[in-house]
Structures are given as C-alpha cells and as structure tokens.
Structure 1
Amino acid sequence: MENSAGCSVSLWQKIVSFLLVIFPILDIYSVGIKGIGIGSIILCFILIGMGIRFLTLNRSIKLNPYYGFFLYGLCISLLTVLIHNDFSITAVAIRMTYFLFYTLLIFLPSSYDFDIHFAEQIYLKIGMAAGAFLILQYFSFWGLRYNLIGLIPGLPLNYAIEDYVEWMDAYNNMYTIMFRPTSFFPEPAAFTQYMAPLLILVLFTNVGEKKKLLKAAFISIVMILSTSTNGIVFSLFIWILYFVYINHDSLKNRRFPIFLVPLFLFAIVFAILILFTDNTISDYTVQQFEGLFSKNQSSSAYLRIMRGFDIYRQLNFFENILGIGLGTYKSYYATGVLTVYDGETEYMNSLSYLFVSTGVIGVLLFIYSLFYNVPRRSMASHALAFLILLSFFSSSLFNSPTYALSYLFLLHLDSIKNSGD
C-alpha cells in the first residue's frame, strides 16, 4: 500500500501508525487496573518492538532538551521525597513511569515506525467518522428521543467514573438537564481535544486538496456542536492562525474576503444551536465561553484555569522556582500544607500542574524543548505547538494519549509540505 506521498508503507509502519492515531480512543477503556488503559498496554508492546528495531538498525540516540525536562522532573521529585521522609515514593514512581512511557512514545518512533502520510490519512478517516457520529447523536436525540452512545457497552472505563453502568447513569442524568454529545469519547472536551490537531493538519497540510476548506469547516462545526468550551476556543484559534498565515502570501491576490469564513462558520453553528435545539444548550455554550473571561467561580471553564494556580500561590518562593515534584501533591495536601480550591483533591490544568510540579524552571524547560522540536519550515508544527500550550490552560492534557499524538505529528511534519508552499 502507498501513502499520500506515493511511497510504499510497510506492514509494521501501518500497524504502528494506526495504533498511535487510535490510541486516544483505545485508552478510554481500562484493563481493570486503575489508571491503565488498553491502549497503553498495547503500545507498551509496540515500544518493545521499536526498541528492538532501534538496536538492530544501529540507530544513534540524538540528544534533545525534552530529555533534560524529564530528568529535571525526576530529580526534583526524588529530592522532595528525600526531604520529606513521610511522602509516598510509590506515587512519585507511578507518575515518573507515566512520564517515561510518554517520553518514549513521542521520541522513540522514527520514520521506519511511524509513517506520517499514512497516519494522516487514518486520522482524517477516524476524525470524520467521529464527527459524523456526533451529528448522528443529534438526530437520534432530537428526532427519536434516544440517547445514542458511542462507547462500547460493558467495558470498564479508564476515566473518573470507571464502571460503564455508573457512567451511563451519570450521562443520562446529564441529558435530563441538557444535551451534550460526546461521539466515541466519554465527554465533549475529550472529543474536541482529539479533533483539534486534525483541524490543523487539514488546514495546514493536504497540499492541492480541493475539499480542504469543506473538511475543515465540518471538523470545526462538530467541535462547536459538542458544546465544549474547548471546541469554540480551539477552532477559533486555529482558523485565526490559518488566515493570518494565508494572508502572508496569498490572501492579497484573492477577490473573496476569505477572512470572513470563520465568522460565517460560527454564525451558522450558533444558529443551529438556537434553532434546532433547546435554549439550554445555546445558553450553556455562551455561559462556558463567558466563564473564560469572568471571575464567576461557578464556571467550570474558570475553575479549570484557576484551581491549579491557587495551589501554586500557596507554595513558598523556592517551591515556586523549583517545583514540588511529580506525584507529591497529595502528600503535601495530607500534611495540611496546602488547601484545596473548590474541594477538588488534585485536578489541575496542565500548565498549572507543571508550575506546581516542576516550578518556573520546569515550565521554561518544557516550553524551550517544545519549540526546539518544531521543524523550522513547518507552519503546521508551529500551530500544533501553540495548540498544545493553549490546551494546557484549560485541560489536563500533559502525558495523555492526545498530547502524545499531537507531539508526534509536530515532530514528523517536516516531511509534509505546508499548505500554500
């Protein structure tokens, strides 16, 4: 089989690329051990295969600033445990194991393992199917008054609610308040986090693709229809980046004011929300979006941003600079040193989590390594880097399947030409 670039793809490349693209969906389901998804177990075996190929092909290890970021996180975590004898070394070991797993998953695959052209094709097909299913959920609910669920019945979930039946009860209870479709994912935010990198790939790559804007518009519409604040913010952000990029060289030669497309797109979506659904959904969408810019502490969007930073400000000066380590927060909380914002025990967005865990030094190392790894001529990679940072404000995305997938594309996109090149 050939990829979109006309090159042959080996069976190993197809297996690895497919599994990495579908990893965020596979990892929704648990193997029965808390915090361990089916996708993680499968990819552990894939990593072993990559390691064997790495040795047999005599590949050399290229130094990367991200490894320094990982080592810094490990050192500050161990140092914190040594200073506080009663802190849990097990919690640190678990967090650092996750950190190592995702670091290997991002940097170990080479072009001999991960074919980006084939992966992009698979990603597009899965994303379009997920979007079509979300629209089907709308028709099912409003036409038939039937809750169409996209999760596999009966399987345990690698999620806050692990039991499928319990999740169904919570989901149906949510439906009595308002309709929020989730496609193949357990919540709308997870759906939009998976679709956002695909929107970047469609807009900034796919050179010569005549239906590019139609596909991008479809992806944006379903992201917004999910009613997730992330869907609104991510799609608007990506479209703005795209039109700024296009304006640099080709917009001047266009007669049609193409910069009006995103505004027209959002107007259509909000019209659909208002005309074809009840007021609860449109009101909720507006409320969530407003929550990003207000100090309404009942807004979940506001809480996701502020909860972790409230914890960070309670740390002393040296902890602000150095961090308290990964996996140590609950130990700090147990000693009564930290209070909890809004009653949550640990949930923070990724940016505040990095500030709390690795301090200013760790955050600077992360940002430096992120842009160090961006191929200089790839606008799509730059857009993915900015998307990762943006998502860190509102989501717990660090060391997650979607984070790994976004970073993988970021690293390998130098082999795909930019849109407009």
Structure 2
Amino acid sequence: MADFAPDVWTHPRLMAAVFEEDWGAVFRTYRRLTGVSQMTLGARVGLVQPDVSEIERGRRRVTSVEVRQRIVAGLGIPPERLPGAVAEGDALPVPGLAFAGVTPDEDLLARVTTAVDGAHRVDGATLDWLDRLLAEHRRAEDFIGSAPLVEVMGQQLRTVVDLYAGARGPLAGRVVRLASEHAQFLAWMAQDQGRSAAALAWYDRSHEWALEAGDADMAATTLSMKAHMAWSGGRGRRCVRLAEAARWSAPGASPGVQGMAAQMAARGHALNREGDAARRLLDEAQDLITHAATRPEDEPPWMYFYDDTWFTLQHGMAAMHLGAWRTATRHLTSGLAALPPNYRRDRAWYRSCLAHAHAAAGEAEQSLAAALASVPDASDVGRPHAWHELHTTAAVLLRRGAAEGRELMDALQAHD
C-alpha cells in the first residue's frame, strides 16, 4: 500500500529520474503526479518536510544508502525501475509476511482500503485491526528477527499516516498514537540491526507523535529506548540522563514503563561502575515491576515482554558491568530458564552474555557450552549484537589461555 496510483511508475519522466537516481526530480515528479504534500511524502520515506524541500531544490544530495533504501521502499518504487535491477524471473525478496488470524474479512478490508483512499472516514474496527496486526508483528519479531519485517512495517506505517486525513474526533488522536507505536517499532528494528542514525530518527518521530497524542507511556518509552542505545554504545552517563528524563518528563506513565526507565538508569550507573546507585535503582525497578504485575491491564501493549523474567536478565547485565561475574551468571541462567522459546532473538543475546560472564569468571567449559548453544540463533537472528558478544567471549577465553577459545572461534568462523 506504499502508493495508490499504480500507473505512476510508468511515467517516462519519473522513470528517467529513478534510473538516474536524481532524487530531487523523483520527489518533484512524484508529488506532481500524485498530489501529495511534502509532509506526506516525508512521512512515507522517513524524512521531515524541510529535508524533502532541500532535496527537491537540489540543496541536499541523497548520499546515504539507508536514506536511499527508505525512499525506494517508502514510495513503492518497483525493483525493475532501479539501476541494476534483476532480470525478469530472477529471485526477488519476499515483500511481506502474513499471519493466521489477522487477515481482515472482506468487509473490514473494504473499509481499510476506502479509508486510505480518502473516500470514507476511519472507523474503530479499522484501527482495532491495525492494533492487533502491530501486536502480532511485534511477537513475530521476537522469533524471526527484525530483517524480514522492516519493509512490511514501513508499509503499515504509511497506511496509518494516510488514515489521518479521514479520522475525526477521538479517532484522530488514536491514529496519531498508532503512528507513534509503529515508529517506535521501526526504531527498535533499526537499532537491532545496528542502524543507529535511522533508529534515532524514528525514536524522535515516535516521541513527537506520542506528545501530540498525549501518550505518556510511549513518550517515556522512546526516551528509555534511546537510553538503551546509549548503553549499547558504552555511554553510561547519557544512558542515565535519558532514563531519568523518561521518568520526570512523563510522570503519568504506567508502573511498568517507569520500571523500565529505572532499570535503564541502573544499567547506566552500572556501566560507570557506580554500584550503589545501580543497586538502589534496581531495587526501585523491582518494586515497580511487582506493582505492574498486579494490574497488567493497565500496561501498554508493547510492554508485553516486561516481567520478572526480563528483569532478572537485566539484573544479570548490570552485574556484568560491575564485574560481579558469578552474580551475573546466576541471574542470566535463572532468566534464560524461564524465557519462553518464542523469544528466539533474546535467547541468542542472553546466552551470548552468559557465555561471556562464564568466561570472565574463569569457567571455560560452561562458557563454551553456553556459546555453542547460542551460535545458531545468534548467526540467524542475533546479528550484530549477539554475534559480537560471542566474538568477545572467544577473545576472553583466548586471553586466559583456554583451549575452548579456539573451539569457539572455529564454530563462529563456520557460520560466517
């Protein structure tokens, strides 16, 4: 549903602009043919309106591969129109996924289609279905990883943004809230793939829409996730500041969302080797999680993963930063034992962390066992993070003179 004028890509001027990768001409011609505004076009390709204007005027060039990919996907440019397109009959990537039980019936599909085309107003049933579809995609990503879902989620967000024109009254706010949730999910998937710039841009967009919709839970969540990015990059002080901002800037957030922010601040302090502050905030986060568990219906849908098991695993991560290796292995082992098998990506990550903790504790055999258990999933759905952690584990073992280090390196090289 990226473009609702299928013949637009047969227009000779637009075809020539795409082939020459003259993105300013692509934007100008596309808007002239479809009648969309710079703001709508920007929403489809993940750019703000001033950037679209600068590109159209030739004052800014598109040099980033990531931005180019967003334009191609966002405007629905057919692969055969691109330079170097594959020949007819060659394999092309699967364009999307379908999940049993979330396909709309004929009546709902008609309402979705006509709402997007602007012929009718948006109704609650349409938004209920999109809510459910987003929830299904979130859970699918836990198992298959983010790579297969990026394109389909981008298409879904464009559908939601286009619904805004037909929304009235309370439904308009609900559409903005739904757009914010989609943008947050896209940000997380970009972060998972190591595309930090794209992730930050999507988190900013999600935060802006959350504020517009008055959604304290999502506004706080986006700041906590940016704190997580800072933590992933080894920036403990920034992690703490963003996590604290998530708490004071959204006092109306749910206990679970507040607990997430508290444990993120704890991990930032742990990264800085500030043990007392880390332990105090972990205790506070535990109280908030316990409170949230008494009323799960009050938590936003994207917090489905946030429970005592997840917190136990995060406790293990904080212990790793503080050099409490056996405490870390205890928490990580306990958390992994309770983690459901459908969390395939998370199992790869936490197993790789457990392997690292065992290696640092001098437990080479246990480290190798955990690492080898992680390798298949880390290779398939856990790159780049779990894969990098396994290489770090091998380096720790080799520095300690453990033969298991070479065995692990061989296993990693076999999957490279």
> What's the TM-score once normalised by structure 1's chain length?
0.32
More helix by share: 2
Greater length-normalized contact order (CA 8 Å, ≥ 6 residues apart): 1
| Higher Cα Rg, which structure | 2
